Structure 1
């Protein structure tokens, strides 16, 4: 029994090291010998010290590790998919998700990972039971020795960590500063599993408190908005927030497949051809277009201003938010916080397809009076792709669904994805038809929150959040009615002139304000594509968004091979060109 207990504890320790091993093998970090030693040595030393401290009660040590053991398959899956450890930004994204999105994330591996998680958690429980039954414990003197060995190993790996930082930092660069070295050395501990998780949870909790405070301050925030024009007719403006849509798969932007049969047949349509999102996931991409939050700020940093919804409500528009995604808590999701700035909020997430959005808009237009600003938040092209469109829109075949649950053929994935774009085209066409059949001044702005990575012959990755090339360019489209062009001809002409310029989601707030004819103190016209004063500004993005602070200029970025990870360009003499906000 005692031998079984010792063996089960050893197996548990090795199981808990799996995420660390996976990070070394699959992570994006340069795999120098010193970094590998530090990345494996730190968690090994901490585990050794942990079991030594609880040496007289190893059963308790095992039982406390049950939840961490159960999470091993999920964490390992995440690292394999995104090539990065769990961080506070990741926890914020998890807190803002819902069961449906979580199931979509695991996809075809859902039941396998759940089974592995149950088995891993059970193994920790069995180790604790065997340790208790056999009265397993360590001799006190050996336990003290083990703690000292563990501390020595941690010290050694810290030294290794400093060496890693020194190896990675070109001489004379800011990243070689001692403060940066200390921070990145501590990061080795935080990135380790399982002991880095409590640190990460603490950081996330701190960020959540800051979000709490910023939301409270936002209630009293005022733009002091005013209308710049009163055209004498009812005005209806619609913002459609797309999901996971990439520019180069839109026929409207030059794609060779008929993914936009309805939009390409419309007049009064202006494609904004060179737009990028600062973030490769919704929790960063949506606030980037809704607010004036500076693009260089970290994902979890609080922002005390209201969104474009609050601005237009303050200007006298009746504001609506119709979403085909799920609310996830006022405090845990910035998107939900901004949605709640609208006077009317409807969550349509029980509807399977985005057709519920134009249906909801039609009802709002019929039953409301006065000027309207309506936000429609799509589920769009979010995976799993074959669940995002009805059978009638299965145009490109064969799809993943045709190949079976474990089909990973990249051509099938592309077909499924292109069907989602074609369905998005139909939904937008339906929204525009509703606006066309009113006698109001109407306009629509569509923009996706971020792009999407699709598998190719040289890259097996899919989804978003990796920081790869096609997760940043996003499609943006402006449609306007005859009445809008008559009321604001100069705005239409100015947007046409700027439609091919390199723009960013950081321009969208000011652009939407000008689209609706709303001004306020501090309005930066150089950010508005409707303004003659618009000018190019560095398009700052967060390629390694999990790091929280990494920011580079998209237009000066370098691309890796295969999946084309967006990276900061290293210029001659080994000097990085720092992007300035």
Structure 2
């Protein structure tokens, strides 16, 4: 019996194959962009068709110009394969989580760890990348390419470049104002145009992350301790707890209809209900809240060469210890002492999905008896880090059920997702209260605890999940964060805190800009870089404590 002949491999010119690849990317890997464009109000009739055609032409032209440098004979298939795989991965996050692709998103990717990266893996993600990236790449390698002489290939690419510029010119001339209006009303479009947004984000990230060997800029050289917490008395222990992905609207102290923070409420915590984050991801918000630059003037490339509040605290006579159960201090504690949690720290609290935040309480428990000097302890919580919310808390804290026991959030109902996220807030409340009780029960020290989250979290509102939206278009769920102060009577009396005065400020508009200055105010460290207008405690201390 004769063997069936193999399917013959088609032969295409390099230009034709490149154009087909661009067309596939524009049509198949930009589903969310097209949903937004087709549903945009005002795009009716022939004018609307023209605007949509202009968007398609512009995106096609930009993608073609982006891929042209990869169309040399030896980089053609490998380069386009890489683009297809990366664009397919971006399509998954853009489509399933409502994510955007900018330098902040790439910073979160580059600064993650193996545990955090592993939480993203699931069957849907792998199938998306395989179907929209790997399969087209296999077809790309299967098709034969009819290569011509180098000069003819170069000439043909120049003609493609001319075609791309012509398409851009026609789109701009005919519907430029309409497209500009569409982009103004839907700012996310420029961050989800795939793969152009990937390239723009990568270039922006490289520009901000470059190391030009600038010297470290010292700040607060005049820092000194005030009279209220002068060194030599009982050690002062200030705990600065940094939350992860906690949104203010999920706290009962902020009006939520569930008792997610009952333990801290019972401890008499001061709750500040109107606090805005500096960014919508850890890579931005964490260093931003520790610097004196403020959100308006914050730049990664400036902050990384500038001392932060921990340096000023050390200059004011405090020891600083950073205890981390997240992805590190982002170099904030490089001049202090940093301890990272790991499975070896406590096997009962850690597994392949990471450690529960109780490991930080145990590290604090072991540290307190060793403290002899005034000390600031930073607890960097894993908190409510998604998408695997169910992994953030032990089963004993699954108070709200049914849960979403998956990292594929779209497969869970709104109720399941809300329940699971609320359980993470409940567990964070337990961690904060446990730390406060440890401090309260140690009679050798004068303690206080300030808690603030790095950013908020979207749980499907407006079609968005997780966090990381550009700040200008970020919803309130991603920028409105909790902040709480626990100050027992013995600390308040020594520092001269007027607690009724502070309670009167609980609804005042605050932001991460206040953290740097308020931490120095709470620690009674005087320096010219501390701005009283941004110090939450300024005006709420007794006169003899602020001399």
Tell me the TM-score range normalised by the shorter chain: 0.7 to 0.9
Aligned residue runs from structure 1 range 269-288, under 5 A: 269-288=269-288
Query: Alpha-carbon deviations, 1:462-496, whole Å to 9, x = none?
Result: 21123122111111110112211221234434322
- Does structure 2 retain, via aligned residues, the 8 Å contact 1:55–1:138? no
Task: Return the alpha-carbon distance in structure 1 between the equivalents of residues 149 and 57 of structure 2.
Answer: 22
Partner residue of 1:549?
A: none
Deviation of 1:249 (Å): 1.4
Deviation of 1:107 (Å): 5.6
Match of 2:221 among 203, 220, 223: 223
- TM-score computed with the length of structure 2 as normaliser: 0.80
- Does structure 1 retain, via aligned residues, the 8 Å contact 2:104–2:281? no
Match of 2:403 among 370, 388, 399: 399
Partner residue of 1:445?
A: 450
Partner residue of 1:339?
A: 333
Partner residue of 2:158?
A: 147
Deviation of 1:293 (Å): 1.8
Partner residue of 2:325?
A: 324
Q: Pick closer, same or farther for the CA change 1:298–1:164 going to 2, 3 Å.
A: farther
Q: Pick closer, same or farther for the CA change 1:326–1:410 going to 2, 3 Å.
A: same
Partner residue of 1:565?
A: none
- Does structure 1 retain, via aligned residues, the 8 Å contact 2:393–2:427? yes
Task: Return the alpha-carbon distance in structure 1 between the equivalents of residues 270 and 436 of structure 2.
Answer: 13
Task: Return the alpha-carbon distance in structure 2 between the equivalents of residues 265 and 46 of structure 1.
Answer: 58
Partner residue of 2:477?
A: 470
Aligned residue runs from structure 1 range 363-378, under 5 A: 363-378=366-381
Q: Does 1:305 align with 2:306?
A: yes
Identify the range of structure 1 (60-69 vs 505-514) with the bigger mean alpha-carbon deviation. 60-69
Partner residue of 2:77?
A: 62
Partner residue of 1:501?
A: 508
Aligned residue runs from structure 1 range 532-571, under 5 A: 532=539
Q: Does 1:15 align with 2:24?
A: yes
Partner residue of 2:363?
A: 360
Deviation of 1:446 (Å): 0.4
Match of 1:127 among 140, 143, 155: 140
Identify the range of structure 1 (18-27 vs 239-248) with the bigger mean alpha-carbon deviation. 18-27
Task: Return the alpha-carbon distance in structure 2 between the equivalents of residues 101 and 123 of structure 1.
Answer: 29
Task: Return the alpha-carbon distance in structure 2 between the equivalents of residues 286 and 347 of structure 1.
Answer: 16
- Does structure 2 retain, via aligned residues, the 8 Å contact 1:236–1:443? yes
Task: Return the alpha-carbon distance in structure 2 between the equivalents of residues 425 and 20 of structure 1.
Answer: 40
Partner residue of 2:390?
A: 386
Partner residue of 1:538?
A: none
Higher relative contact order (CA 8 A, sep 6+): 2
Q: Pick closer, same or farther for the CA change 1:250–1:124 going to 2, 3 Å.
A: same
Task: Return the alpha-carbon distance in structure 2 between the equivalents of residues 441 and 50 of structure 1.
Answer: 60
Aligned residue runs from structure 1 range 169-184, under 5 A: none
Secondary structure of 2:88's match?
A: helix
Task: Return the alpha-carbon distance in structure 2 between the equivalents of residues 274 and 92 of structure 1.
Answer: 27
Deviation of 1:449 (Å): 0.9
Q: Pick closer, same or farther for the CA change 1:70–1:253 going to 2, 3 Å.
A: same
Partner residue of 1:157?
A: 168
Partner residue of 1:238?
A: 239
Task: Return the alpha-carbon distance in structure 2 between the equivalents of residues 53 and 531 of structure 1.
Answer: 58
Query: How much is the aligned-residue C-alpha RMSD, in angstroms?
Result: 3.6
Q: Pick closer, same or farther for the CA change 1:206–1:143 going to 2, 3 Å.
A: closer
Secondary structure of 2:119's match?
A: helix
Query: Alpha-carbon deviations, 1:108-160, whole Å to 9, x = none?
Result: 6343345446xx2464355235325xx45599769746633542432441463
Secondary structure of 2:273's match?
A: strand
Task: Return the alpha-carbon distance in structure 2 between the equivalents of residues 208 and 51 of structure 1.
Answer: 24
Task: Return the alpha-carbon distance in structure 1 between the equivalents of residues 162 and 512 of structure 2.
Answer: 47
Query: Alpha-carbon deviations, 1:338-373, whole Å to 9, x = none?
Result: 13232x101115442000111111111112311110
Deviation of 1:209 (Å): 1.5
Q: Which runs of 5+ in 2 are unaligned?
A: 1-7, 344-349, 542-547
Q: Pick closer, same or farther for the CA change 1:370–1:27 going to 2, 3 Å.
A: farther
Deviation of 1:51 (Å): 8.1
Task: Return the alpha-carbon distance in structure 1 between the equivalents of residues 406 and 68 of structure 2.
Answer: 53
